[in-house]
Amino acid sequence: MSTILIIEQVLNGLQFGVMLFLMAAGLTLIFGVMGLINLAHGSFYMVGAFAAAATAGATGSFLLALVAALAAAALAGALVEMVVIRRLYKAAHLDQVLATFALILIFSEGTRWVFGSFPLFLEIPAWLSGPVALPGGILYPVYRLTLIVIGVLVALGLWWLTARTRIGVQIRAGENDREMIAALGVDISKLYTLVFALGAALAGLAGALVGAIQSVQVGMGEPVLILAFVVIVIGGIGSIKGAFVGALLVGLTDTLGGIFLP
């Protein structure tokens, strides 16, 4: 096997990994901060992809499509948090599993209702299509490279957010002691809605970005969700850094395993 192919596959693995990270980051934040296992996280991935595909279809702009994906997923997340999730924070895991399973049913069938059963397609914009020459003479798709960059930027941004900002301090404090930070006057329910919407937006972004490589269809979120769970188990619940390492590990294993294993 040639080195070029291996490097290509490593890059593919990284690209898959950072997209997994976008999913896993939200999940692990939501679990770490609110103690909630959210099966419906894959639905936000799907919502983002559909919103992007619909917007790109109507306006022809990829950037607008991404904005729409972020907005739609964040909105869906905030809404879901306020209507349903908020009642589940103190509930047993079984209740959380069931309620979020119910949300998947509603989101998936709702999307099928609106968009039909046929997959939609999201085109890679002209300015991001085609290959780029990497050092060593390797040709690699610009778009995929962009995904890696976006993923890394988001990871850095999240790290900055949790480690360096006031909201981050509140989030970490909320993990340890809800009552305490509530007593300090932080509006905890607003904070939770915000964190949930942020997680959903990240998932939606991942859905839109990946939607341009794969097809956009109902049920696209769940396989990614399940891998994101694996990522979290590896990285440790609640840890953004763990999620990043875990995601790259799973992404690389999944991609390279496909070639080296029979």
Partner 1 sequence: MIVERWINWVTLLAFMVVPLWALVTDEPFTITLATRAAILALAAVGLNIALGIGGLVSLGHAAFFGLGGYAMGILAFHAQNYTPLELGPFTTEGTKSMPVIWLTAIIAAALAGLIIGLLSLRTAGVYFIMITLAFGQMFFYFAISWSAYGGEDGLSIYVRNGFPGLNTLVPIQFFGICFVALCLSLYVHWRLRSSPFGLALNAARQVPQRVETVGLNPYRLKLVAFVISAAITGLAGALFADLNRFVSPAMFSWQLSGELIVLIIIGGVGRLMGPVIGAAIFVALEHWLGGLTDFWHIWLGVILLLIVLFGRGGVVGLLTGKAGPHV
Among 95, 123, 177, 187, binds partner 1 (CB under 8 A): 95
Residues 235-254, mask of contacts with partner 1 (x by CB under 8 A): --x-----------------
Among 102, 156, 163, 259, binds partner 1 (CB under 8 A): 102
Cα angle for residues 254, 260, 262 (degrees, 5° grid): 100
Own/partner pairs for 148-151, CB < 8 Å, 24+ apart? Answer: 148/11, 148/14, 148/15, 148/18, 150/18, 150/205, 150/209, 151/15, 151/17, 151/18, 151/19, 151/21, 151/22
Structure-block tokens of residue 91:
């509930």
Kindly report the number of other CB atoms within 10 A of residue 188's CB atom. 20
| Torsion angles phi and psi, residue 84, rounded to 5 | -115, -55
Quick check: 50 binds partner 1 (CB under 8 A)? no
Quick check: 164 binds partner 1 (CB under 8 A)? no
**Piece of the chain touching partner 1 by CB under 8 A; list 12-20, 56-64, 98-106, 184-192:** 98-106
Q: Which residues contact 72 (CB under 8 A, 6 or more apart)?
A: 47, 48, 50, 51, 204
Quick check: 118 binds partner 1 (CB under 8 A)? no
Query: Which CB, 210 or 228, lies closer to partner 1?
Result: 228
Among 7, 67, 75, 106, binds partner 1 (CB under 8 A): 106
Quick check: 123 binds partner 1 (CB under 8 A)? no
| Binding positions for partner 1, rule: CB under 8 A | 31, 37, 39, 84, 87, 91-95, 97-99, 101-106, 108-110, 112-113, 222-223, 226, 229-230, 232-233, 237
